Amino acid sequence: MTERNLSAAHDGALNGISAVVGIGHSDWRADHAAVRQGGKPTDSYGYAAISFKRALDDAGIGKSEVDGLIVGGPMSYERSSEVFGIVPRWGMQADSSQAVVAAMMAIRCGLCEVVALVYGNDQQSAKTQYGGPQAMGGDANLSYVYHSPFGLTSQGALYALMQRRYMELTGSTERDLGQVAVGQRAWASHNPAAIMKDRPLSLDDYLASRYIAEPLHLHDYCLINDGGVALIVMEKSRAKRQGRKPVAIKTAARYDLHEGSTTLRPRLLDFYHSGHTVVSKLVYDAVGLGPRDMDAVLVYDSFSCHIPFALEGFGFCGIGESGAFMRETGIGPGGKLPINTHGGHLSESYMQGWAHQIEAVRQLRGEAGLNVPNCRNIQYISDVVGRVYSIIYGAD
């Protein structure tokens, strides 16, 4: 995209028109333990309903005020409305990043004023497969299903290919990558909701752990757990009158990379950097901020290598320099660039990006397990299935 096209693609129409006023989630630790013991606390809708109720309570509003609903897969929008006992005048199904963007768009267009973003997933107890011949039922519109005739259905294997190529090109090492898992486990140790809260991890522990798909170790992989997450997003002027401290959604942007009917090529060829470049310019120019203005960064981390790729692509450091950057800057507690301050998918819970959104709110409210001092701006970054997103949240 040219400079002119970039400007036209993001004219600021969505900037600062909405805010998060309520958050909630299910009991990830307790439910994870229960499922490991053979139980099934509830299903996807049950986890979502628990989270929705807690988000409403946090916002201090009743469900009758909700006039928009966005749900995450594997839930149905229609069925969710029935389960929650609401009658929204607008709604849809979306992933975590698109849910936030869609809520901003709906509010901007006057389709609704109070949007509930609700996610539930019983993936652990339902034994959902994210690889193998029956991945997601065998017919999902995902890259590893496209490649099933060739045997490449494992997401871990796909990211292992990315990481191996990156290491060969840049000289990066497993020790460099291990900083991600170690840093996020350190953050999780301060988070009462984190599944891995009580399991410390050193760099030596990381390096000694078994390979799942070399060069990725056990601790480079996300958790798989049941759970739910909910956010209440409100038109900003109404949010200010609500009484609960709102967290502004300052801006957001998306750019897609699809070639050859799959998302394999943009990952392996440039680690999503071409998409990172476009989206970083969109969000930073929209609000007059840059990487150095971010007090914390939250990155979608189904695998640990998302973090170094995103740091380089969004300009926090140069291409191939993320290992040294993380080592010198520090990404764990006490570091200069806190990353995934809740423990992320690797150590808190795997809520497919939804829990990252509520961590942004907790940090900006000063209500996290361990708060980042003087936190004013938090950036969320996601680069999965051919799409790059970024959302910037700010203290209002």
Q: Dump pLDDT digits (tens) for 78-118.
A: 999 999 999 999 999 999 999 999 999 999 999 999 999 99
Residue carrying structure tokens 């028109």: 17
Contacts of 260 (CB under 8 A, 6+ apart): none
Q: What is the mean predicted confidence (pLDDT) over 294-299?
A: 98
Share of the chain above pLDDT 90, in %: 81
pLDDT at 269: 83
Mean pLDDT of 221-230: 98
Give the HSE-up count for residue 59: Cα atoms under 13 Å, Cβ half-sphere.
33
What does the pLDDT average to over 186-215? 98
Q: Are 286 and 12 in contact (CB under 8 A)?
A: yes
Q: Tell me, what's the pLDDT at 124?
A: 97
Confidence check: pLDDT of 21 > 90: yes
| Closest C-alpha among 63, 96, 60, 65 to residue 82 | 63
pLDDT class of 8 with cuts at 50, 70, 90: very low
Q: How many CB atoms lie within 10 A of CB 255?
A: 23
Domains, the chain, ranges and CATH? 18-127+226-242 (3.40.47.10), 152-222+249-391 (3.40.47.10)
Does the pLDDT at position 318 exceed 90?
yes
Residue 9, pLDDT above cutoff 50: no
- Find out whether 313 and 271 touch, Cβ atoms under 8 Å: yes
pLDDT of 108-148, one tens digit each? 999 999 999 999 999 999 998 887 766 655 455 555 566 66
CB atoms within 10 A of CB 137: 9
State residue 13's pLDDT score: 83
In a 3-state reduction of DSSP, which class is residue 38? coil
pLDDT computed for residue 266 by the predictor: 73
Q: What is the mean pLDDT of residues 198-217?
A: 98
Q: Judge whether residue 232 has pLDDT over 70.
A: yes
The arithmetic mean of pLDDT across residues 253-261, rounded, is 79
Residue 3 confidence (pLDDT) above 90: no
Q: Tell me: pLDDT of 264 over 80.
A: no
**Using one digit for the tens of pLDDT, what is the confidence trace for 147-189?**
667 777 788 988 999 999 999 999 999 999 999 999 999 999 9
pLDDT tens sequence across 23-50: 999 999 999 999 999 999 999 999 999 9
Mean pLDDT of the chain: 92
Question: b/e per residue, 63-73, with b = 16+ CB within 10 A?
Answer: eebbbbbbbbe
* 296-299/377-384 β-pairing: parallel
Structure tokens at 326: 């993380």
